[in-house]
Structure 1
Amino acid sequence: MPELPEVEVVRRGLVSWVRGRTITAVEVVDPRSVRRHALGPEDFAGNLEGARVLDVVRRGKFLWLPLTDSPADASAADPSCDADATPAPAVALMAHLGMSGQLLMQDSSVPDEKHLKVRLRLSTADGMPAELRFVDQRIFGGLFLTALIPTADGGPGGLAETPLPLIAEEAAHIARDPLDPCFSFDEFYRRLRTRRTGLKRALLDQGLVSGIGNIYADEALWQARLHFARPTDTLRRAEAARVLDAAREVMTDALAAGGTSFDSLYVNVNGASGYFDRSLNAYGREGQECRRCAAASLVSLIKRDQFMNRSSYSCPVCQPRPRNGRW
């Protein structure tokens, strides 16, 4: 599954191409990719045609495009964390990438991709591709229209160029992510201490902190020198801050590298793959030397453990498992 940095790479790419443009035509090539739109492909296309894209917003791994029918609705809201400007848009186009979904900007002259599912034609703009294409080989992802509702804390719904105090209804249940300027460490730590679970399980809880998936959880824990089974109710404030800072750092580094790509399906809007997998210190490195221990002339091999029907990677020397650990 693409994780937060991969989705943020897509968001940043889309903003420069689609913001302010009007959807002039919609072609649903495969109805399965709009199955989450309950009223069907015709309603999906009919409601999108003529709509103007205000922005591209992300919270955690959720990505949506607020839409308006009128240019007058595009007034900017206060981008601060306590924004209280009157929200204008009421509907957004939600993009769920699933396992293999891609949002690609293409010129009309470019041949259709093999797994093209939905085509959005956009209003003319100098030097910009004319189409936004949704491509999905495995068909676990999709597009659908969703309502925008006020955020619970009155702050922006997520990362955007012009933040509005609105959030896509399907994303309203998840917490802010560590890259969100409105993320509250105090609230995170307070809630973390009330959990009686292992640290990695807590980091993967999207209701506590969003956007940290399996790969970046392992990387953040390795960097913070903490074991995934560390009980959350024993975590000191400085340790919690250390692992959150590590998560921000590894995800920011992944953003700079274009995301983490283990196959050709994870691409940005221009079709390019990320390269952060070359910099991973723990994830996927079972049986290989721990780089930190090796630098200290210690011999230690990365270990893989079964974890929540997945795998967890850690160093048994610099990330010792606590005796009272919780999985």
Structure 2
Amino acid sequence: MPELPEVEVVRRGLDAWVVGRTVRDLEVHDPRSVRRHAGGPADFADSLRGTTIRHAVRRGKFLWMPLDGLPEPAALVAHLGMSGQLLVEEPDAPREKHLKVRLELSPAAGKPAELRFVDQRIFGGLFLSRLRPTPDGGPGGHGADLPLVPEAAAHIARDVLDPAFGTDLLHAALRRRRTGLKRALLDQGVVSGVGNIYADESLWAARLHYARPTDTLRRPETERVAEALKDVMARALAAGGTSFDSLYVNVNGASGYFDRSLNAYGRAGRECPRCTQAGLVSLIRRDPFMGRSSYTCPACQRTPRNARY
């Protein structure tokens, strides 16, 4: 599933190619992809026609586009799910096999005229959500200064790349959870945008085991985790995200290549890069975790005696 860097890559593409343009027409090819819109496919299409996309905003993995031309402040929310793609195309481009929604946009010099939502596994979708003021008065997310957030995303915490993110809040939230560290990082109410891949990479960088009890974390350790998350996310962004197959692409259909820089995730049985540099031999270990996997180095991420899984 796309994590923060992948969604941010898509957001930047929307900001460059779609923002400022009006939805001239819209076709819903599969009603399942707008199932989260309470009014149904016809109301979804009627509501969007004639609106103008003002921004492309992201908080964690949530992506939304505030709209002008509606009776009340609202945004088009895009949930990518496991395989959702937002692609900019010319009208005469071949229709994708799994095309679900097609938006015809107002003309703009040098920019394709359509925005297409493609989704093979149909876990994602598009829907309209009302905007509400943020509790702290800060911007709702990255990409706009508007102190508004969709009701659908109001429950999630800020992410580590958000200027309003604070280590103090993260430390307090982690200490309250009384659970394993990775399980807490995957909780979008603690910090948003972190999934399995970047949790493993960040914990490896911070030299902490995924089962470390959160209520035993010291402030310097939380700072290490926060800095590791910021660094890993920034490097993944620079690489265009992580693509293990053709399902994740940016708005122009290109894949990311951060998978070439992974130190722990997916490297079971291979040498730990950090230990190798220190002249030691330690092989990355894979453990089952919440129906998925966790990857750690047994030498530099030792399992705590009071481990919480």
Give 2:59's aligned residue. 59
- Cα distance per residue 1:104-123 (max 9 Å; x no partner): 00011211111111000100
Asked if structure 2 preserves the Cα contact closer than 8 Å seen for 1:257 and 1:274, the reply is yes
The CA deviation at 1:89 is: 6.1
SS at match of 2:152: helix
The one-letter amino acid paired with 1:322 is P
The one-letter amino acid paired with 1:308 is M
Q: How does 1:112-123 map to 2 (within 5 A)?
A: 112-123=95-106
Give 1:204's aligned residue. 186
The CA deviation at 1:296 is: 0.9
The CA deviation at 1:38 is: 1.8
Q: How does 1:10-29 map to 2 (within 5 A)?
A: 10-29=10-29
The one-letter amino acid paired with 1:34 is V
In the alignment, the residues of structure 1 paired with residue 121 and residue 151 of structure 2 have an alpha-carbon distance, to the nearest angstrom, of 25
In the alignment, the residues of structure 2 paired with residue 158 and residue 262 of structure 1 have an alpha-carbon distance, to the nearest angstrom, of 27
- TM-score w.r.t. the length of structure 1 is 0.93
The one-letter amino acid paired with 2:100 is K
Asked if structure 1 preserves the Cα contact closer than 8 Å seen for 2:88 and 2:116, the reply is yes
Asked if structure 2 preserves the Cα contact closer than 8 Å seen for 1:67 and 1:89, the reply is no
SS at match of 2:228: helix
In the alignment, the residues of structure 1 paired with residue 105 and residue 79 of structure 2 have an alpha-carbon distance, to the nearest angstrom, of 20
SS at match of 1:153: coil
Q: 2:248 aligns with which of 242, 266, 270?
A: 266
SS at match of 1:183: coil
Asked if structure 1 preserves the Cα contact closer than 8 Å seen for 2:72 and 2:130, the reply is no
SS at match of 2:25: strand
SS at match of 2:67: strand
- TM-score w.r.t. the length of structure 2 is 0.98
Q: How does 1:161-310 map to 2 (within 5 A)?
A: 162-310=144-292
**Structure 1 vs Structure 2 CA RMSD:** 1.1
Structure 2 alignment gaps of length 5 or more: none
The CA deviation at 1:251 is: 0.8
The CA deviation at 1:102 is: 0.3
The CA deviation at 1:310 is: 1.4
Asked if structure 1 preserves the Cα contact closer than 8 Å seen for 2:206 and 2:224, the reply is yes
- Percent sequence identity over matched residues? 71
The CA deviation at 1:36 is: 1.1
Q: 1:90 aligns with which of 64, 73, 85?
A: 73
Give 1:75's aligned residue. none
In the alignment, the residues of structure 2 paired with residue 89 and residue 224 of structure 1 have an alpha-carbon distance, to the nearest angstrom, of 45
Give 2:36's aligned residue. 36
- Cα distance per residue 1:247-283 (max 9 Å; x no partner): 1111110101000000011000000000000110000
SS at match of 1:15: helix
- Cα distance per residue 1:167-204 (max 9 Å; x no partner): 01110000000000001211111221222111111111
Asked if structure 2 preserves the Cα contact closer than 8 Å seen for 1:68 and 1:89, the reply is no
In the alignment, the residues of structure 2 paired with residue 115 and residue 230 of structure 1 have an alpha-carbon distance, to the nearest angstrom, of 42
In the alignment, the residues of structure 2 paired with residue 153 and residue 188 of structure 1 have an alpha-carbon distance, to the nearest angstrom, of 15
In the alignment, the residues of structure 2 paired with residue 275 and residue 179 of structure 1 have an alpha-carbon distance, to the nearest angstrom, of 20
SS at match of 1:148: strand
Asked if structure 1 preserves the Cα contact closer than 8 Å seen for 2:170 and 2:222, the reply is no
Structure 1 alignment gaps of length 5 or more: 71-87
The one-letter amino acid paired with 2:139 is P
Asked if structure 1 preserves the Cα contact closer than 8 Å seen for 2:76 and 2:128, the reply is yes
Asked if structure 2 preserves the Cα contact closer than 8 Å seen for 1:66 and 1:89, the reply is no
Which stretches of structure 1, 4 residues or more, deviate above 2 A after TM superposition?
none
In the alignment, the residues of structure 2 paired with residue 247 and residue 290 of structure 1 have an alpha-carbon distance, to the nearest angstrom, of 19
SS at match of 2:295: strand
